[in-house]
Every structure is written in structure tokens, then in C-alpha cells.
Structure 1
Amino acid sequence: MHDSPETTRRERGADDSTPDFLSLADLASVRVGGRVLAASDDFFAPKANLLKPGPAIFVPGKYTSRGKWMDGWESRRKRTPGHDWCTVQLGMRGVIRGVDVDTSFFTGNFPSHCSIEARDGRAEWTMILEQVELRGDSHNYFGLTDGRPWTHLRLNIVPDGGVARLRVHGDVVVDWKRVARGGKTVDLAAIWNGGLVLAVSDMHYGAKDNMLMPGRAKNMGDGWETKRRRGPGHDWAIVRLGTPGTITRIEIDTNHFKGNYPDRASIEGCLAPGASLGALAVAAWSDVLPQAKLRPHHRRLFARELVHRGPVSHLRLNIFPDGGVSRLRVHGTPAR
């Protein structure tokens, strides 16, 4: 039932392509409040595994009292008509651009097909992905074109089996009148508010999106970290704010980075809503924060040092020469 995963992966030629929607936020991530609400059955492996951070793993020879331990959601073999399902509450309401139904390490026990329904609040369920075929031990990527925002998903698997992870990539929809009511200062770069790291020079050790996650970093792996630079130049990250705004304060947090923090940092900004990376390359960037010294394992706040407050839609964080930043906060007010 459980073939050698690596052998099966090589024989079948798993899809390693990376569609554009993978660069968008995971609306269902537990890191932003996503959670599994219910499942028709999770006899072999608990439904909560579906949204776990990080890739699934396989442990040869590990069994539970119910069978082989699997790092995902797995239902028992269905002996009656119908199919299994799992409902998910998104951590962030948004427009779904694509999903990854990841069957990693499920080789002889993956569902043959799946479909996905969605709803916004308490509205009726709407089919957003008609029944499609799945491949085992693979990332199954499906782009979606429905432009409406959603708060919940229901993953239907036909007829039964196991799914390692469900990733739901899309654009966060923010009610700015509510979030920034009365001119309230908010974190314009927070992932909850639609902030997104569009590109970085390097992310050898730590993912770029970590910088905009809620809370302070749990450890060094929960930040953005580049490899050691052996030549001239410096590393950088381009951040799209959730909405154009005027900046009042910036935080650069090197929490947990003690022997590998950047020596200095600077920030530039531009006003180019909706611009592509190509357009941003030739945009008119202005200094927001001149080069400033950073400290290890420390949250540094900048307010009086800011020389240009906006409005801006994008920021470019420059770190000299390399290193790690756990969080970037950009406090300000949305532009009117």
C-alpha cells in the first residue's frame, strides 16, 4: 500500500513546475489563522495536518494503532457510495488565484479526483474547481479564475484517501474603511493587510514571506536570510504594501539573528500601484530611510530618521552586505 516514496516519485516524474500564483499569499495558512473545521473522516491521519506549515515528511517504518503514520489528512477506505470532504476556514478573506492539492508521499492511497467549493461568510457553497484528476505523490496545481472573495473552502476527495497539504494562494481583500477607521495607523506591509514580498536578491536560508508574518519570529528559521555574500553589492527585498499609504514609522527586527544580522539597512519607496516587477525596475525610487546601523537580535524603530513618508505603494529594503531580518513593519495610514 505504501511504496517507497522517493522511488515512486522518480518513476512517475512528479510535476515540479511553479505557476505564478505560488508567489501570492497562502490564505489558508495556520500562520495567519487558517484552520480545518470538519472532515467526513480522518481515520488514518488527522485533518489538521492539511494546513501544517512546511512540507510533508515521510518516516519509514512508523506506524500507529490504526496503520501507517502519514503526514497529512487520510480517510479510511470507503465501502459505501459517496466521497470524503474537509472544510477549511481561511485565515484571510480573499480572491483565490490557485490551489496546490499536495499528495506528497501518498502513492497507493491518494484520491483519484478532487473538487473544491467555496463560500463567503454564511452564503451558499459555490463550486470553484470542478472535479479534476489527481496524481499521487505530487503537487497538483490548479489555477482559478473566479474573482470573488471567499472565507471558507470545502475540499472534496473522490472517493477517499490522503492529501498531505492544501495551499490556497490568492489576493487578500481588506476593508480599509474598517481597518483604518478614523485615520488609524496600521501596518501597511502586514500579510493580513495584503502586503506581499514580490522579489528578493536571495533567500538561501529563510523565506522572504516570513518578514511580513504576524507576531515576532519564533526562531532564526522564521525570518528572511540570505547566503553569505562573497562579492560586491548587497541584498534587497521589494515589498508591495497592502495599499498605498503615508509612512509614520518603520520597524526592522533582527530577532534571533545574532552572528548573521545585516550591518546596515536602508529603505527606498515609490508610488506605482499595480506595477509589475519590470515596471518597478525603472520606477522613480526615493530614499525613505537612509543607511542606518542595525544591531543583533534587536527590534529597531525608525520615525524621525525617515526622509520621505509617501504616499508610496512599494518599498525596497536594502541590507548591507547580507544577513537575516526576521520582521519588517511599515506603520502608516492609507492614502486617500
Structure 2
Amino acid sequence: MANRQKELMDVASLELGTEIIYVTDEFFANANRMLQATEPVFKDEYDENGHWMDGWETRRRRDDGNDYAILRLGQVSRIIEIEIDTSYFKGNFPPSASVKGCYAPDASDDEIIDNPDNFEWFTLVAQTDLGPHDIFSLESKYQQSVTHLKIDIFPDGGIARFKAYGFISFDHKLFEKENINVISRRTGARAIYANNEFFGSLKNIIKITEAVNMGDGWETRRRREPGYDWGIIELANPAIIDNLMIDTNFFKGNYPDYFSLNAAYIPNTTHSSVVTQSIFWEELLPKQKLQMDQKHYFDSSSFSHQKPITHVRINIYPDGGVSRFRLFGKFIKYKEAEKILCEQ
């Protein structure tokens, strides 16, 4: 499942706006910790309630109930896999857990919390045995759109990290908006391949938030042979690009000397075939000089065309690091995209 997760997105991440709206108990450790993107850590520290743990941890139950948390996803999503990580929870892990989801885009938090039985909850993961200090990857049995998740642990205990891997369900209201970032994680864009990610992952450059340091961007190793480095990003729907921004924030002695873009309209493809096809993609933006530690802006006057695209390849010469990358434009429907391409 680890290989499949590379193609998916953690739709339960705090970055996408996911919030925990209710938790039965978080006596030993705040539930928000389990949604962090960082790897869990162990600290030999104590606070007023006990040993500090990097995750969500409830007190020991003394009744026949169980603890649970309800999450409102930042974006309507389809979930393919669930990952429950019990790292460092050795004598205090939950013996089992289950995950359910519901689709209630118009419901208030209070409605979900006070009257959960008024909504139809679908089982993503049936009650499943867990173990100490381990990672459990579980296939979702329900893969339609959901807005909320309910994580039940039986009867109590701690989870270091919880991730829900899947796809953001495209919001059709975006078709009505102009000049939006069409390669944002929030709009469903995905970084699908990079030839090198030695120091930092390509997916970092489409994060919603500003970079926090050099490690929060895409950085390749020092190239010692001819050529250049590149990465491919897939849009959630076709779009026409009006302008862009590329940011080398924090990259001072290791920013790329130049960058360029290639793009294509490929409505139906696989990730492996995209890599091969990208050799032949049309140039969208010719080579442009970059500077250290700053944002660079380019409008349509610099572009080679303004055709609808579904994929973009960012090329950096010869290597280096980029903190953030934005493509601004307008989403269009596939039929409209095909009509424009036929007329050109």
C-alpha cells in the first residue's frame, strides 16, 4: 500500500483545513496531534497529566463504552486507504479501531455532534485489531465522497498519527471562478512524479501554506552529469493558465539557475505513461532566469500558448530547490477544453 499512497493525498491533514470537531476524551494528549504531517517522536517528558505523547491519547475507561473523535474534512473527499499509526504507544495503544464517514456538506458542527444518528454513516474500516508501536494500512470499504469521519477506538488508548489517503472531490463551483490557483492541493492537484527528490518532495511546492524552511520545498541533489531535473503535476480538471508564481524562498546557495514549463492536455492516462509522454509535451513557458530567495511572477505574455492543460512539467536547470509553485487561471469542463483544442 505504501506505493499507492505516493499517488494519493492525506485528505485528513490539518493543512487542508481538517478540524476535529468533537472528541470524547483527550486527557493525556490533544487529538489534533494525530493529524500532524510530521513523523511522531518520543520525548522523555511529563506534563501535569502524565507522560507527554505525540498523538491523541485518552484516559483509561472504567465503563463499558469507548472513545471516539469526529473530524470535519477540509475538503469533500473520496478515501481509498486509512493509516493508523501507534508509534510509541506500547502499553497504551487501543486494542482495535474502526472508521466511519458521512456526507453532510451543509450540516453545522453542532448538528453532527448533537445528533449524529440523523446522518447516514458508512463504514470505511470495520473494527480492526491494532498493535503496539506499529503502522496499520487499511483499505477503505467505502470510497464515495464524505465530509466527516468518526474514529472509534476500543475501548481507549492512544493513536500517534491518523491519515486518510484519497482524492479531493472536485468542487464544481470552481468552474465559476477566475484567477484561482489550479495546482493547489486544495483544488485537487497532485504531484505525481519527480526525477529526483533527494532533499525535499515535489508535493511540497503545491502546499497551500507558505514554506517554513528549506526542507519544506522540493530540492534535488547536486547534479554531476548533463541534463536537468523535473517534476510532473496533475490538475484536477482542465484549466487555462493566465499567470504564475515560482518561489525560491530559503534557497540561496542552491536555487535553480533557470526554470521552464511544458504542459499537455491528457484527459485519460496513467502515471507511468505520463512520465514517458512528457518527453513530447509542448512548451508552455520558455527558460526563465531565477534568483535566490524570492518570488518570481510571469503573466500570459511570457507563455508560448494558452491552450487548456491537465498536466504540467516543471523543469529546473540544472538542479536545486523551489519552495512553492502556483499556476493561476480558470478551470473549464472537458467538453469545453476539447472544443477549444479542436478550433485551434
Instruction: Verify: 1:319 aligned to 2:316, yes or no.
Output: yes
Per-residue Cα deviation, 1:278-306 (whole angstroms, up to 9, x for no partner): 22134241000111111111111122111
Instruction: Verify: 1:179 aligned to 2:163, yes or no.
Output: no
Q: State how far apart, in whole Å, the 2-side matches of 1:112 and 1:215 are.
A: 36
Give the structure 2 partner of residue 198 of structure 1. 192
Instruction: Verify: 1:264 aligned to 2:262, yes or no.
Output: no
Give me the TM-score of the superposition, normalised by structure 2: 0.88
> What is the number of residues matched between the two proteins?
317
Give the structure 2 partner of residue 40 of structure 1. 24
Letter of the aligned partner of 1:157 in structure 2? I
Q: State how far apart, in whole Å, the 1-side matches of 2:91 and 2:227 are.
A: 49
Residue 274 of structure 1: CA displacement?
3.6
Give the structure 2 partner of residue 298 of structure 1. 294
> Which of 91, 110, 122 is matched with 1:126 structurally?
122
> Which of 288, 304, 307 is matched with 1:307 structurally?
304
Q: State how far apart, in whole Å, the 2-side matches of 1:146 and 1:309 are.
A: 39
Q: State how far apart, in whole Å, the 2-side matches of 1:215 and 1:281 are.
A: 28
Q: State how far apart, in whole Å, the 1-side matches of 2:56 and 2:283 are.
A: 48
Q: State how far apart, in whole Å, the 1-side matches of 2:175 and 2:147 are.
A: 21
Q: State how far apart, in whole Å, the 2-side matches of 1:254 and 1:145 are.
A: 41
Instruction: Verify: 1:29 aligned to 2:25, yes or no.
Output: no
Residue 217 of structure 1: CA displacement?
1.6
Distance 1:256 1:46, change over 3 A: same
Letter of the aligned partner of 1:128 in structure 2? L
> Which of 325, 328, 331 is matched with 1:331 structurally?
328
Helix, strand or coil for the counterpart of 1:23? Answer: coil
> Which of 235, 240, 252 is matched with 2:234 structurally?
240
Instruction: Verify: 1:214 aligned to 2:197, yes or no.
Output: no
Residue 22 of structure 1: CA displacement?
4.3
Point out where structure 1 has 5 or more consecutive residues left out of the alignment: 1-16
Helix, strand or coil for the counterpart of 2:272? Answer: helix
Q: State how far apart, in whole Å, the 2-side matches of 1:307 and 1:194 are.
A: 25
Letter of the aligned partner of 1:75 in structure 2? T
Q: State how far apart, in whole Å, the 2-side matches of 1:231 and 1:140 are.
A: 40
Letter of the aligned partner of 1:211 in structure 2? I
Helix, strand or coil for the counterpart of 1:261? Answer: coil
Distance 1:48 1:278, change over 3 A: closer
Q: State how far apart, in whole Å, the 1-side matches of 2:3 and 2:59 are.
A: 32
User: Residues 80 and 166 of structure 2 are in contact (CA less than 8 Å); yes or no, is this contact kept in structure 1?
Assistant: yes
> Which of 133, 138, 155 is matched with 2:134 structurally?
138
Q: State how far apart, in whole Å, the 2-side matches of 1:218 and 1:180 are.
A: 31
Q: State how far apart, in whole Å, the 2-side matches of 1:200 and 1:288 are.
A: 18
Per-residue Cα deviation, 1:171-199 (whole angstroms, up to 9, x for no partner): 111223x1231x62221111111100001
Give the structure 1 partner of residue 163 of structure 2. 167
Give the structure 2 partner of residue 13 of structure 1. none
User: Residues 21 and 143 of structure 1 are in contact (CA less than 8 Å); yes or no, is this contact kept in structure 2?
Assistant: no
Letter of the aligned partner of 1:118 in structure 2? G
Helix, strand or coil for the counterpart of 2:32? Answer: helix
Residue 334 of structure 1: CA displacement?
1.8
User: Residues 174 and 331 of structure 2 are in contact (CA less than 8 Å); yes or no, is this contact kept in structure 1?
Assistant: no
User: Residues 123 and 142 of structure 2 are in contact (CA less than 8 Å); yes or no, is this contact kept in structure 1?
Assistant: no
Instruction: Verify: 1:103 aligned to 2:98, yes or no.
Output: no
Q: State how far apart, in whole Å, the 2-side matches of 1:257 and 1:44 are.
A: 39
User: Residues 69 and 152 of structure 2 are in contact (CA less than 8 Å); yes or no, is this contact kept in structure 1?
Assistant: yes
> Which of 50, 66, 74 is matched with 2:49 structurally?
66
Q: State how far apart, in whole Å, the 1-side matches of 2:54 and 2:209 are.
A: 26
User: Residues 85 and 161 of structure 2 are in contact (CA less than 8 Å); yes or no, is this contact kept in structure 1?
Assistant: yes
Helix, strand or coil for the counterpart of 2:88? Answer: coil
Helix, strand or coil for the counterpart of 1:278? Answer: helix
User: Residues 36 and 89 of structure 1 are in contact (CA less than 8 Å); yes or no, is this contact kept in structure 2?
Assistant: yes
Which stretch has the larger CA shift, 279-288 or 32-41?
A: 279-288
Residue 207 of structure 1: CA displacement?
2.2
Q: State how far apart, in whole Å, the 2-side matches of 1:19 and 1:86 are.
A: 28
Letter of the aligned partner of 1:330 in structure 2? L
Residue 53 of structure 1: CA displacement?
2.3
Aligned alpha-carbon RMSD (Å)? 1.5
Give the structure 2 partner of residue 90 of structure 1. 73
Give the structure 2 partner of residue 112 of structure 1. 95
Letter of the aligned partner of 1:221 in structure 2? G
User: Residues 241 and 328 of structure 2 are in contact (CA less than 8 Å); yes or no, is this contact kept in structure 1?
Assistant: yes
User: Residues 95 and 148 of structure 1 are in contact (CA less than 8 Å); yes or no, is this contact kept in structure 2?
Assistant: yes
Q: State how far apart, in whole Å, the 1-side matches of 2:138 and 2:40 are.
A: 19
Give the structure 2 partner of residue 79 of structure 1. 62
Identity over aligned residues, as a percent? 34
